[in-house]
Amino acid sequence: MNFARFRAWTAAVLLCPVTAHATPTTDAQTYDQKQHVLQMQRDAVSQRYGQAAKQCWQIFLVNDCLQQARLDRRRELAPIEKQENALRAAKRAQAVADRQERLEAKKPSVETPDDNPP
């Protein structure tokens, strides 16, 4: 019964809306929160794989069972990795925008030329 509740909770966490296309205005705190949620999802998948692998050693066809457990793990990790990549891309885009803003602030203002050339 506890395992069924755990799976239901994990499915809810996996399906929670973490933006796949994060905007460049994502601040550091939001990034850290999203990264933490994704890490929790990754840990849950890893824990489920560990439990499945442990159960595989109790049956006769160990290799087939382990292969299926690995396949399930890869399938569950694929959307998490996609979200992590999108989050990293958004962080890189924000860093580029911040760097560009700092460079623009350092650049001297363009002065209009005088009416009387030298």
Q: Residue 45 and residue 76: Cα distance in Å, rounded?
A: 7
Q: What is the pLDDT of residues 28-72, one digit of tens each?
A: 788 899 999 999 999 999 999 999 999 999 988 889 999 999 999
In the DSSP assignment, the letter for residue 114 is P
Q: The tokens of 40 are what?
A: 């929790």
Tell me the angle at which helices 2-14 and 28-56 cross, rounded to the nearest 10 degrees: 140
- Write down the domain spans for the chain: 28-95
Q: The tokens of 61 are what?
A: 């066809």
Q: State pTM to two decimals.
A: 0.62
Question: What pLDDT is stored for residue 14 in this prediction?
Answer: 47
Give burial (CB, 10 Å; 0-12/13-18/19+) of 25.
exposed
CB 77 within 8 A of CB 45: yes
CB 17 within 8 A of CB 41: no
Question: What pLDDT is stored for residue 116 in this prediction?
Answer: 58
Lowest mean pLDDT among 2-6, 24-28, 76-80: 2-6
Lowest mean pLDDT among 11-20, 22-31, 70-79: 11-20
Indicate if the pLDDT at residue 12 is higher than 80.
no
Indicate if the pLDDT at residue 2 is higher than 80.
no
